[in-house]
Chains A and B, each alone.
Chain A
Amino acid sequence: MGRGPFGTSPMVNETLIARCLREEPKAQYELYRAMHGQMMSICSRYERNKQDAVARMNQGFLKILTNIDKRRPEVPFELWARRIMINTVIDEYRKDRPRKAQESLDASLDESTLVEVNEYLRHMEADAFAGLLQRVPDMSRKVFNLFAMDGYAHAEIAELLGISEGTSKWHVSHARQVLQQAIAQLAGQQAVKTVSQ
């Protein structure tokens, strides 16, 4: 058994799940350890800082443990757990709906710059990109994550977050622009520094 589609550890198997159903603390620890990477990856994308991401991850893990008996056997555990994590994040968002986004769109970049941005991103460090993602406003980041990372359609996002499809599209576009501009800026600085050396 190789790594799952979302980088899940191969240690999550039905035996471990069955032990978790019996509420064995050691099994819960093993499951947590096995799922940590995937869960943290999801939560850190959606949350602004690491503390919030950890809190959300643990909240989601608790939901996984609580509802593990309700999982249908034909659904892969990793997919099911991922869905729960995303739902946890969205539920929290619904509870504490943030203020209306007041960000304004910056001017979009021209096509040649976008090509450069993509090229730069291709070679960029993953952590650096994750850092840039945190610069995207909350709501836009969530919508962008749902759309671009987790494959939700705009209609689904609109239903999940209680917004219109048009607003969802706007948020995706906005997040993309913020990221692209940040990357372009980084790329520009890199070019300048290279010249100066």
Chain B
Amino acid sequence: MNLENEFDELARRKLKEQEHPFEESHWHEAQRMIVAQRKGRGGRMIIGTLALLFLGTAAWWATRPHDASSLTSAAEQAAPKAIPHPTSSGSSSTAVSSTVNATRSNTLETPAKVSAASTSSHLTDKATTIEEKDLTSASAQVQRAGSGTRAPRTEARASTTTSVASTTPSRSSDQLRVMPSNTTASGTRTSGRSSATDGTVTPTADQVAEDAYSDPTKRSIVLQGTTAPKDTDRNDVRSDQLDPGAPEPTGATNDHGSGTTVSTANVTNEDPVDPSSTSDMVVTGPPADGTRPVLLDTTAMDMAVDTLLVDAPLPNDSMATTPAPVAAPPLVDPRAPWEISVLGGIRMNNTRYAGPLSDDQGFTSQGLNSSMFGAELMHLGRRFGVGGGLYHSSYAERLSVKERDVTNMTISPYWYLMPVDTTILFITDTLPGTGDTVTYVGIPVSTTINVLTRSADTTTTTERLREAREIVNRTSYLEVAALFDAHLVQGRWSMGVRGGPTFGILSGRKGTLPNSTNDGYVPFEDEAFRELVIGYQARAYLRYRWNAAWSIGLEPMIGGQLVNGLASGDLDRRSMAWGGLISLSYRLR
């Protein structure tokens, strides 16, 4: 045991004594590896950033309130400037806005908005006989609450009183945003334009009314005034009552307001508000595309706000019917789910070699760029889709094969004569002695004799088995893929993921591999390859659709082989690739 420990200690000491002088070539090789690693790190960072960006956008997309946005956009389409700017008071004031609050002055900037106010004005003009009694309660209340703070402006517009407000006697529980208003000191509900006050050129009330009610898309009503007692019939108030030529509706609103009550249709009145409160609101009519209208508050910022969101559409006709909300037509016809795409791009490859022989092969593999192109046919639903694809994919790598040397130590035994100096006694005479004894007489002779000896020669030879070589290997496959798709669509943009298993049929190969005996090379043509290789493909995509048929996309992808591409069994060769594709898609109709 001690001898073994001593041996180990001596061995350790010996190896420490060994010196390894620095060689620049070693550093060059290390430097190349450092640079390659840095490049790879950069690529990974780009991919990571893109993935994060993609995921972030997807998360935002998935969590944003689609309904609200569609409502807003619909309202914006119908009356793009319906929402007044609270700070732009006075400059283009209307009767309504100035009466209630100067900050509502922009409410009627657009014809659609003007229409409502003008309608009110028109109605007022026509309804000079309107019973003021219906307004009195509200007026009185307003007077009580009004305190006359806005008296000068109100007075200037007091002549255009409408009873529109009386049609909104209550909080529309879930339809209207009703604001208690500190309206008019005059006690009259003032409506209509008073363009004279600001010089704004506006359509006449008749024109606007006609415009507003002949074209529902332009309908915008300013409702103002006090709330009235609960009236269960108010839901039935019809907008055709606004038409001066229309017959007076019966049983609608006359009992609580003027005969010129303007219906905002579907204003629910089950929950009346305090009669002392006034309401003020702008209802934008249904836009042309049929999306639901939005009631927009034009109440000034300094007013108490009690909001109830509009949730039901206004009728398109004069009847207080409730048309079902119609979504904006999608860009892509859902009845045409089939889409064909062509795509192509560049991929970075990574081919790994492993297996029983790989540890002795002495080569490294470095990925190269290769191309991929193909076509797909997908059946796409609202969120998901299935389909198939056919691609031509190449995998390329650069093999750096080191030279291979073998050192042989040959021990050759041999025999030789080894001269040995010695002394030989030569007997020269024999002398008889007493009895049986004999005396020999000799001469010592010094001589050299050769002794046959066995030994061994050790011969060390280094033989180069294989020269170093840089090889570019390339294999091509015709890949058939079963694809599954999940996507989100927002307007013209869509994003999604697509992928599935692939079945690659070997279509080409070019290159060389070190052979299994490590003493040369074998060309790809002589190497046994699998003809069918199972793999995978996964892509994320962002597409822009510029019309119902065509779209273009950018698609980062990753793909590879799940099984050994070689069939010999000595080596395991698996390729994978990542890169970017550009796709052009056509929706079949």
Count residues on chain A whose CB falls below 8 Å from chain B CBs. 56
A37 and B418 contact, Cβ closer than 8 Å, known pairs A96-B358, A193-B455: no
Of chain A, the residue at the smallest CB distance from B9 is A148
A140 at the interface (CB under 8 A from B): no
> Which residues from 2 to 35 on chain B have a C-beta closer than 8 Å to any C-beta of chain A?
3-4, 6-8, 10-12, 14-20, 22-23, 26-27, 29-31, 33-34
**A115 is an interface residue with CB less than 8 A from chain B:** yes
Complex contact A148–B12 (CB within 8 A):
yes
B88 to A: closest C-beta gap in Å: 57
| Shortest beta-carbon distance from A4 to chain B in Å | 12
A105 near B: Cβ within 8 Å?
A: no
Give CA–CA (A64, B478) in the complex, Å. 42
Contact status of A62 and B362, CB under 8 A, knowing A32-B27, A37-B22, A126-B18: no
Whether B453 is near chain A, meaning CB under 8 Å from some CB there, is yes
Q: B328 in the interface, Cβ–Cβ < 8 Å?
A: no
B7 and A114 within 8 A (CB)? yes
Contact of A58 among B33, B38, B358 (CB under 8 A): B33
B20 touches A121 (CB 8 A): no
B458 CB-CB contact with A under 8 Å: yes
Report whether A58 and B8 are in contact in the complex, using a CB–CB cutoff of 8 Å. Answer: no
Per-residue contact bits, chain A 158-197, to B (CB 8 Å; 1 contact, 0 not): 0000000000000000001001100001000100110110
A30-54: CB near B (< 8 Å → 1, else 0) gives 0011001100110011000101101
Verify A58–B29 contact, CB threshold 8 A: yes
- Does A29 belong to the interface (CB within 8 Å)? yes
A86 at the interface (CB under 8 A from B): no
Per-position contact with A for B392-410: 1 when CB-CB < 8 Å, else 0? 0000000000110101010
- Taking the complex as formed, is B201 at the interface, i.e. its CB lies under 8 A from any CB of chain A? no
A28 touches B34 (CB 8 A): yes
Given contacts A59-B33, A176-B8, A196-B453, is CB(A130)–CB(B15) below 8 Å? yes
Contact A196 B455 (CB under 8 A): yes
A41 nearest in chain B by CB position: B20
With contact pairs A32-B27, A62-B33, A126-B15 given, residues A118 and B6 touching in the complex (Cβ less than 8 Å): yes
Please pick, from B10, B19, B405, the residue contacting A118 in the complex, using a CB distance under 8 A. Answer: B10
Asked whether, in the complex, the Cβ of A58 is within 8 Å of the Cβ of B26, the reply is yes
Would you call B453 and A192 a contact (CB within 8 A)?
Answer: yes
Total interface residues in chain B, CB < 8 Å: 44
Could you tell me if A41 and B33 are in contact, using CB atoms closer than 8 angstroms? no
A53 vs chain B, min Cβ distance (A): 9
Q: How far is the CB of A143 from chain B (nearest CB, A)?
A: 12
Instruction: Give bound CA distance, A6 to B11, whole Å.
Output: 15
Chain A residues with CB under 8 Å of B27's CB are: 29, 32-33
Taking the closest CB of chain B, its distance from the CB of A100, in whole angstroms, is 11
Instruction: Decide: B26 and A65 in contact? CB cutoff 8 A.
Output: no
Residue of A28, A96, A111, A122 touching B10 (CB-CB under 8 A) = A122
Q: Please tell me which one of the listed residues B4, B33, B364, B402 contacts residue A176 in the complex, with CB atoms under 8 A apart.
A: B4
Provide the bound-state CA to CA distance between A130 and B18, in Å: 8
Chain A residue at minimum C-beta to C-beta distance from B420: A195
Q: How far is the CA of A147 from the CA of B11 in the complex (A)?
A: 12
With a cutoff of 8 Å between Cβ atoms, the chain B residues found around residue A117 in the complex are 7
Measured between beta carbons, the chain B residues less than 8 angstroms from A133 are 11, 15
Whether a CB of chain B sits under 8 angstroms from the CB of A98 is yes
Candidate in B3, B11, B17, B34 with the most chain A CB atoms within 10 angstroms:
B11
Q: Are A124's CB and B14's CB within 8 A? A: yes
| Distance of A113 from chain B, by nearest CB (Å) | 10
- Indicate whether A99 reaches chain B with its CB closer than 8 angstroms: yes
Q: Mark B325-368, 1 if CB is under 8 A from A, else 0.
A: 00000000000000000000000000000101011001010000
How many angstroms from the CA of A122 to the CA of B416 in the assembled complex?
Answer: 30
Within 8 A of A (CB), among B29-48: 29-31, 33-34, 37-38
Across the interface, B26 reaches (CB within 8 A) one of A57, A95, A126, namely: A57
Contact between chains at B11 and A51 (CB < 8 Å): no
Name the distance in Å between B7's Cβ and chain A's nearest Cβ: 6
Separation in Å of the A177 CB from the closest CB of chain B?
10
The answer to whether A121 touches B17 (Cβ under 8 A) is no
Q: A52-B362, A54-B29, A121-B14 are in contact. Are A65 and B7 (CB under 8 A)?
A: no
Q: Given the complex of chains A and B, what is the CA–CA distance between A176 and B18 in angstroms?
A: 19
Residue among A57, A66, A114, A195 making CB contact with B37, cutoff 8 Å:
A66
Instruction: Give the distance in Å from the alpha carbon of A114 to the alpha carbon of B3 in the complex.
Output: 7
Q: Which residues of the other chain, A, contact B17 by a CB distance below 8 angstroms?
A: 126
A98 contacts across to B, CB distance below 8 A: 359
Which residue of A has the minimal Cβ distance to B20?
A40
Q: Is the CB of B8 within 8 A of A126?
A: no
Contact A58 B4 (CB under 8 A): no
Query: Does A129 lie within 8 Å of B15, measured CB to CB?
Result: yes
CB neighbours (8 Å) of B402 from chain A are 51, 55
Q: Are A32 and B403 in contact (CB under 8 A)?
A: no
- Encode contact with A along B434-456: 1 for CB under 8 Å, 0 otherwise: 00000000000000000001011
- A116-139 residues at the B interface, CB under 8 angstroms: 117-118, 121-122, 124, 126-127, 129-130, 133-135
Task: Report if A121-B7 is in contact (Cβ < 8 Å); known contacts: A65-B34, A129-B14, A148-B12.
Answer: yes
List of A residues within 8 angstroms of B403 by Cβ:
51
Q: List the A side residues contacting B358 at CB < 8 Å.
A: 96
* B contact residues around A25 at 8 Å (CB): 31
Nearest-CB distance from A38 to chain B (Å)?
9
> By the criterion CB–CB under 8 Å, are B3 and A118 in contact?
yes
B22 touches A36 (CB 8 A): yes
Whether A189 contacts B15 by the Cβ 8 Å rule is: no
Contact of A62 among B7, B10, B12, B37 (CB under 8 A): B37
Are A121 and B26 touching (Cβ within 8 A)? no
* Complex Cα gap A178–B313 (Å): 95
Q: Write out the residue numbers on chain A whose beta carbons fall within 8 Å of the beta carbon of B29.
A: 54-55, 58
Across the interface, do B16 and A7 meet the contact criterion of CB distance under 8 Å?
A: yes
Q: How far is the CA of A12 from the CA of B137 in the complex (A)?
A: 95
Cβ contacts under 8 Å, A18 to chain B: none
Instruction: Please give, as numbers and ranges, the residues of chain B lying within 8 Å of A179 by CB-CB distance.
Output: 7, 11
A115 touches B16 (CB 8 A): no
Distance (whole angstroms) from the CB of A139 to the closest CB of chain B: 12
The answer to whether B3 and A62 have CB atoms under 8 Å apart is: no
- List 26 A–B pairs whose Cβ atoms lie within 8 Å, in order of A's numbering: A25-B31, A29-B27, A32-B26, A33-B27, A36-B26, A45-B15, A49-B407, A55-B29, A57-B26, A62-B34, A62-B37, A95-B354, A96-B354, A111-B3, A114-B7, A118-B10, A126-B14, A126-B15, A129-B14, A148-B8, A149-B12, A176-B7, A189-B455, A192-B455, A193-B455, A196-B418
Chain B contacts to A: CB under 8 angstroms = 3-4, 6-8, 10-12, 14-20, 22-23, 26-27, 29-31, 33-34, 37-38, 354, 356, 358-359, 362, 364, 402-403, 405, 407, 409, 411, 416, 418, 453, 455-456, 458
Q: Which 4 A-B pairs have the closest CB atoms?
A: A96-B359, A40-B20, A126-B17, A126-B18
